[in-house]
Amino acid sequence: MPTGPAPVLPRVRGPQDLRVLGPDELRRLAEEVRVHLVESVARTGGHLGPNLGVVELTIAVHRVFDSPSDTVVFDTGHQSYVHKLLTGRQDLSTLRTRGGVAGYPSRAESDHDVVENSHASTSLSWADGIARGRALTGEPGRLTVAVVGDGALTGGMAWEALNNIAAAQDRPLVIVVNDNERSYAPTIGGLAHHLSTLRATRGYERFLGWGKQALRRGGTPGRLAYDTLHGVKKGLKDIVAPQGMFEDLGLKYLGPVDGHDLEALERALAAAKDFGGPVIVHALTNKGQGYAPALADAADQFHAVGVIDPVTGAPVPAGGAPKRASWTSVFADEVLEVARERDDVVGVTAAMLIPVGLHKMAEAMPDRVVDVGIAEQHATTSAAGMAFTGLHPVVALYATFLNRAFDQVLLDVALHRAGVTFVLDRAGITGPDGPSHHGMWDMALLQHVPGLRLAAPRDGATLREELREAVAVDDAPTVVRFPKGSAPEDVPALERLGGPQAWGAPDLLARSGARRGGGGADVLVVAVGALAALGLDVGRRLDAQGVSSTVVDPRWVLPVHPALLEACAAHRLVVVVEDGLRTGGVGSRLRDELADAGVRVDVRCVGVPVAFVDHAERAQVLEELGITAQDVARDVLERVAALDGDAGAGAGPAEQVRSQG
């Protein structure tokens, strides 16, 4: 019985194996890689569309350059699955799971992985630094390659790097622009317009046609590279696209090249490699290439998917109870309603219109939603400018990306008392995307911004309520943060401490028993945001052990409300549970304010340690960090027992009051 050719992918254990493959084998390899990606990511979820679009491009890069001797840097890294397959990591069954293959480059996995940070627009700075370092350490023959998307080029940091790269004409550095006209969504702005103009030129066909003729006349690839870049009469500008802003910066430009034509890609990359200075290779690719469901998805072309049917691309429903509305969708509906009621409210996003929930508002009122590209710093200061004119911008970002704009929040928004609301999606522990995507830094960072007010909703109802409270503030920055995933069932409050009309006052969620010896309860559980259900569980566990408790949701963790300080003073022990950094977080701030107010009470802080937390499901990460009802209740019971022991030993009040993180 006749059989087809043997599979190619299993024979590729490293980039060196690519260089012995013939044209037919390379074409089959590309097909096998796409099939493997679809079948694997369909089971685990992950970034599918970006990787389908860079199959030929990644193969060509690894055939022309000698990784890891030559350094290949990916921006932002979510398109590195193909790179992983070609560098010995073909089992993607554990992708983005605890202990499994990371969803971004990981130095722990391979010497071929360099940059683990999955924030966009950083690769050119990395490449500039690596190339400079190679020159200074006497290794100028080792090349540096940065693979950067057109979407990432909308970030200001990329242009800061280009400004420096262009100044070193003798430094071997190749910038491969993966131009698919998209970041998460279609790329916007002047850069997108310029690249579109380059796409429309015929320079690539002229370059490729001339090169094929030279090869037929007996030219070698190396000679072709030399002639391409150094031809006396033709010159670079006559062979490739017309002069553009890249060449105006002093950067040599090759392209545009068909990013799915291996022969064309290799020819362009070989020419760039032999040039000896900084060169841009402009490759045109299709996000989702080779997979019909991705290409048909106009929204994001399967940028990131959950578990899907590999044939149809349809999501596979999870078992169990029906899925609740996501935090993002609750925000999307409410911000649209707010905008309909208030003409001054405008939305601002940094290339994440759908993921952060501003798409509904953009559809209904396109003139009032601004997408600035991958430029969080610009988004923040531009919002301050809009606030100066009387508007109230709502800047929606992933929490981890606000880190990049801290200086602008501090000195452009807060210093100028600008009424800007920041809505931080994916706050706290996010899960499978790993260290650079956990949104656990925001509450600790923002503690240091004078006048800033920060809300942490516990459910969909309080998200809607606190968003409206936030946009009502016109003389200071406000922040509303919530986690990834489905919003929990609404948790009703027993009462609003400080009175029903008290702005920013905490909600009383539960109270059990009375403090031994009279007075309030033994333990005050301050459950921040989405950890309200965990706080209630802690209270029930304490009550079962005969320890009375009160559970409150602070709602607005900044500023600390006087009613929360009063509640703390009425208890023997205060435990603050948060999914942000424990050091410098909400609990630390509360402890400091209690000390300033002269309230002496033991405060224990439960939160995320100052560490880079690995990828896993959110619940798994919280369990590993000890942020579970069982762990918290056990710790509290031990502390209560210690306090009882101190009291029984006759210790004075000063000895009984301890504060620890």
DSSP state of 301: S
Q: How many CB atoms lie within 10 A of CB 157?
A: 19
- The annotation status of 376 as a binding-site residue, yes or no, is yes
Closest CA to 478 of 390, 362, 387: 387
Q: Which residue has the tokens 């050119």?
A: 124
C-alpha dihedral (473, 478, 484, 487), degrees to nearest 10: -30
What are the residues whose beta carbons fall under 8 Å from the beta carbon of 70, sequence distance 6 or more?
142, 143, 144, 145
Q: Output phi, psi for 177, to 5 deg.
A: -90, 110
Tokens of 124: 């050119």
Tokens of 109: 């996995």
> What gap in Å lies between CA 398 and CA 378, rounded to an integer?
15
- The annotation status of 119 as a binding-site residue, yes or no, is yes
- The annotation status of 36 as a binding-site residue, yes or no, is no
> What gap in Å lies between CA 452 and CA 470, rounded to an integer?
11
Q: How many CB atoms lie within 10 A of CB 362?
A: 18
What is the three-class DSSP state of 259? coil
- The annotation status of 416 as a binding-site residue, yes or no, is no
- The annotation status of 375 as a binding-site residue, yes or no, is no
What is the three-class DSSP state of 545? coil
CA 149: distance to chain centroid?
A: 16
- The annotation status of 146 as a binding-site residue, yes or no, is no
> What gap in Å lies between CA 362 and CA 370, rounded to an integer?
8
> What gap in Å lies between CA 34 and CA 40, rounded to an integer?
10
Say if CB 344 and CB 390 are below 8 A apart.
Answer: yes
- The annotation status of 436 as a binding-site residue, yes or no, is no
- The annotation status of 120 as a binding-site residue, yes or no, is yes
DSSP state of 491: -
Q: Which residue has the tokens 């919002």?
A: 383
Residues identified as active-site: 287, 376, 404
Beta bridge partners, 396, equal 349, 423
3-class secondary structure for 57-121?
A: HHHHHHHHCCCCCCEEEEECCCCCHHHHHHCCCCCCCCCCCCCCCCCCCCCCCCCCCCCCCCCCC
CA 514: distance to chain centroid?
A: 45
Numbered residues of the known binding site for Mg(2+):
150, 180
Numbered residues of the known binding site:
78, 118-120, 150-152, 180, 291, 376
Numbered residues of the known binding site for thiamine diphosphate:
78, 118-120, 151-152, 180, 291, 376
